Every structure is written in C-alpha cells, then in structure tokens.
Amino acid sequence: MNGIEKIARPFGYLFGLALVVALLGRIGLGVAAATGVLAFDYISASGVAILDVICSILTGSAFVAFLFAAGLALVVSTAGPVLYGALYARGDAPAKASTAFLWGWATALAALACLVILALGILSPVQVGSMSSKLPGTAVIVLGAVAFAAFLGTLLGAASMVLCACIERSRARGGLGRRLLVACAGCGAVVMVLTLGTFSALNGVSVDVAALGGWAVADVVANLAMLFCARALAARAHDAVGAEGASNRAKVASA
C-alpha cells in the first residue's frame, strides 16, 4: 500500500461514518415529519410546541451564534470517545465500563460548560435576567447539570467502549474501519430511535413528564446495555488475542 492509499482509506472510512450518521438522521427526520413530531408551525400560530417557543426568542444573528455553540459542544462530545479509543489503542486507557463512563461524564460536563459560556454571551442581559428570575437556585442548577451530564455520560461511555471493542477485535483479524461502520450503523440506529422518542415527548405544547421520564430511562438502559456488551466483546477479543499469542510463542519455542 503506497502513501496515498494509507491516507485515503482512513479518510474513506471517516466519510463513510459521516454518511451513515447522515442517513440515520435523515430517516429519523422523515419519521418525525410523518408522525407530526417535527413541527412546521409558524411562531404566530396557536398551540405551538415548546421548543418553537424557546427558539422564537432568538434573532438571526443569535441563532447563528447558537449554531456555533452547539457545534462546539458536539465536537467536544465526539472528540471524547475518539480520544479514549486512541488512548486504549496505545495502552494508556483500560477497557473498563466504569472508566469509560467516568470520562464520558467528564466530557459531557466540559461540553455543557462550553455551551453555557457561549450562551451567556449570546443572550442579552435582559434575557439572562428574565430567565434567571424563573430558574431555581444556583446549587439546584449545578446539581441538575451534573445529573444531566451523567445521563449523557452513559452515551459517551458506551461510544468509548464500542470503539475499544472494535479496536481489540481488529487486532486479531484486522478490518477496523469495517467494524466501525457496522458498529456505527447498529448502535446509531438504536440511538436514533431513542432520540426520536425522547424528542417527541419533549417537543409538545405541554411536556408530558411521565412520558419524558420513561424515554429518559429507556435511553439510559440502552446506553448501559451497549456499554457492557461492548465491554464483554472487548474482553473476549483481548483474551483471544492473548491465547493466540501464547500459542504462537509455544510453537516457536518447540520448533
């Protein structure tokens, strides 16, 4: 394989992963539009979904600024699992569910902190003051952010562990890029369905707390299931690689 092919193949897998995410997102948006979850109402219409009301306070420039803030939060959230996978590949991070969740939680907190810092600069002092008067105390807000980050941490921890499993399984048989594509499609489909359900419970004229709580529990259960399944696959692949290495060394010693 020449130099160009060594570079082109990883980038091809990167573009493939992006395409898988885009296709899954497009399917989710199609289902949301067909079932009425995705709102197309004008702001002036009556009975507008709650997320439309929240977004109506944004001007065009503020909306663009929020796109930057959200993009930064998503980049941090994506980079966390990728970094964990890279650290695992070079032996600096363990394939442990607890460690993956811990750093997933920390990554989510960092992403939320970046989002809040930028959001406070986007909104006017009047808007910030109006929102602050309707919010609970600082301690409650901080605890809520920590709890929400833990909720997101289960997803980022699962992503980290799936990466570890793909890396470990590829050490014996290769094909890391193909394994990542399959994992992205399979796990991404699960996340897409759960995101659609959670969004449908949230984006209504009034929020159904029971339904939203049920979807949140389902999200956490699914994330933890992916986390521990990936952990088991990584451990099994690691043991298989170790056994194969021991067998090869024994053959060399007896030759």
Distance CA(134)–CA(236), nearest Å, equals 51
Task: Convert the pLDDT of each residue in 189-222 to its tens digit.
Answer: 999 999 999 888 887 777 778 888 899 899 999 9
Distance CA(72)–CA(69), nearest Å, equals 5
Task: Convert the pLDDT of each residue in 38-74 to its tens digit.
Answer: 766 555 556 666 677 667 777 778 888 889 999 999 9
The domain ranges of the chain are 25-254
Distance CA(30)–CA(74), nearest Å, equals 22
HEC per residue, the chain: CCHHHHHHHHHHHHHHHHHHHHHHHHHHHHHHHHHCCCCCCCCCCCCCCHHHHHHCCCCHHHHHHHHHHHHHHHHHHHHHHHHHHHHHHCCCCCCCHHHHHHHHHHHHHHHHHHHHHHHHHHCCHHHHHHHHHHCCCHHHHHHHHHHHHHHHHHHHHHHHHHHHHHHHHHHHHCCHHHHHHHHHHHHHHHHHHHHHHHHHHHCCCCCCHHHHHHHHHHHHHHHHHHHHHHHHHHHHHHHHHHHHHHHHHHHHHHC
Least confident of 2-16, 48-62, 114-128, 206-220: 48-62
Highest mean pLDDT among 1-15, 28-42, 156-170, 191-205: 156-170
Can you give the pLDDT at residue 248?
A: 58
Whole-prediction pTM: 0.83
**64 Ramachandran zone, left/alpha/beta (phi>0; psi -120 to 50):** alpha
CA atoms within 13 A on the CB side of 136: 7
pLDDT at residue 253 tops 60: no
| Assigned token pair, 209 | 């707390």
Distance CA(169)–CA(71), nearest Å, equals 32
Can you give the pLDDT at residue 136?
A: 64
Task: Convert the pLDDT of each residue in 133-157 to its tens digit.
Answer: 666 677 777 777 788 888 899 999 9
| Assigned token pair, 115 | 């989002």
pLDDT at residue 240 tops 60: yes
| Assigned token pair, 158 | 């699962």
Residue 85's contacts (CB-CB under 8 Å, 6 or more residues apart) are 160, 163, 164, 166, 167
For residues 89-111, give the mean pLDDT. Answer: 93
Other Cβ atoms less than 10 A from the Cβ of 108: the count is 26
Q: Which has the higher per-residue pLDDT, 122 or 242?
A: 122
Can you give the pLDDT at residue 212?
A: 85
